[in-house]
Structure 1
């Protein structure tokens, strides 16, 4: 399960929303089934920067690598230079090295059972994502009951936040995100970035990006190219 992308004690303590950089006004930050984390200042992904998924422990690397591998292959196919790396120390309150998407586990990182947290490092220079932090709820592995497809989709959902994608949910008259309020294919598949639970539900495709999510990644790359960013 997921929580709206926002500042949280278990995430980046330094997270502070500021005015979106002026250059973002000319960039595309939302489309059908996708939305960028422009409220955190992320509008682009460099097509030349190497992004690396790392893990807080050897056990986490062994646990999550096979579960993330299909989605990582899709992200690479979309044009993002990304790889699954090794183990390094992770401080959930501080961004790691540039380009690193650091994965750890915390007990209820959002303060609620089953909810995980992922977010990009806020306000990177020129809006180009520099990686971020993912904190999965450790309860997934200690008896918390969650459908397999929801778990697999959540494990992919959070690193996509760290890359710069936000929830594409529609909003009500008060501006609040509508749960499950996302576009769907003719087969009823919503974006994996839809909150609280989107993505494919079948054993064959769970944990994979939909075309909507891929289009969001391509928009991040297109925004970088539009600015001449390398």
Structure 2
């Protein structure tokens, strides 16, 4: 299951919400089935920067790297330079090296069973994402009951937060996200970024990004180019 996107003390404690950078006004930050994390100051990702997924332990790399392979390939096909990297120390109170999406596990990082968290490093210069941190709920591997497709989609969902995508859910009258309130294909498939659980449900396609999600990644790249960022 997914989180409602918010700063949490346990993950990236240095997070501080600020107003969206003024340059973002000329950029496209939402579309059908996708939305950017402008509330954290991220409006783009560099078309040339190498983004690398790293892991807190070798065991985590062995566990998650195979499950992220399809997502990485799709992101690269959309123009993102994304790769699977190695093992490095993860300090959840601060961001790691520039371009790194650091993956670790925590017990209920959002304080609720089954909910994981991913977020970008906040307020990067010119809104260009520099990576982030993902904390998967360790309960997934200790007996917590979750459908396989939900688990696979969640594993793919969180790194997209770290790259700069937010939940594309419609909002109710109070401004709260409507659960599952997302655009869907004619087959009923919602974006993998839809909260609390979106993405494909079939064995063959679970864990893969939908066209909506790929359009979000392309928007992040397009925004960078619009600013003259290479």
Which TM-score applies when normalising by structure 2?
0.99
Say yes or no: does 1:15 pair with 2:15.
Answer: yes
Aligned residue number for residue 106 of structure 1: 106
Partner deviation per Cα, 1:47-66 (whole Å, 9 max, x = no partner): 00000000000000000011
Q: State the SS of the aligned residue for 2:161.
A: helix
Partner deviation per Cα, 1:155-184 (whole Å, 9 max, x = no partner): 000000000000000000110110000000
> Equivalences for 1:1-230 in 2 at 5 Å?
1-230=1-230
Offset of residue 35 of structure 1:
0.1
Offset of residue 120 of structure 1:
0.1
Structure 1 runs, 4 residues or longer, greater than 3 Å off: none
Q: State the SS of the aligned residue for 1:166.
A: coil
The 1-side partners of 2:106 and 2:33 are apart by 29
Which TM-score applies when normalising by structure 1?
0.99
Q: State the SS of the aligned residue for 1:126.
A: helix
Offset of residue 11 of structure 1:
1.2
Offset of residue 4 of structure 1:
1.4
Count of residue pairs brought into register by the alignment: 230
Offset of residue 33 of structure 1:
0.2
The 1-side partners of 2:140 and 2:3 are apart by 16
Unaligned runs of 5+ in 1: none
Offset of residue 93 of structure 1:
1.3
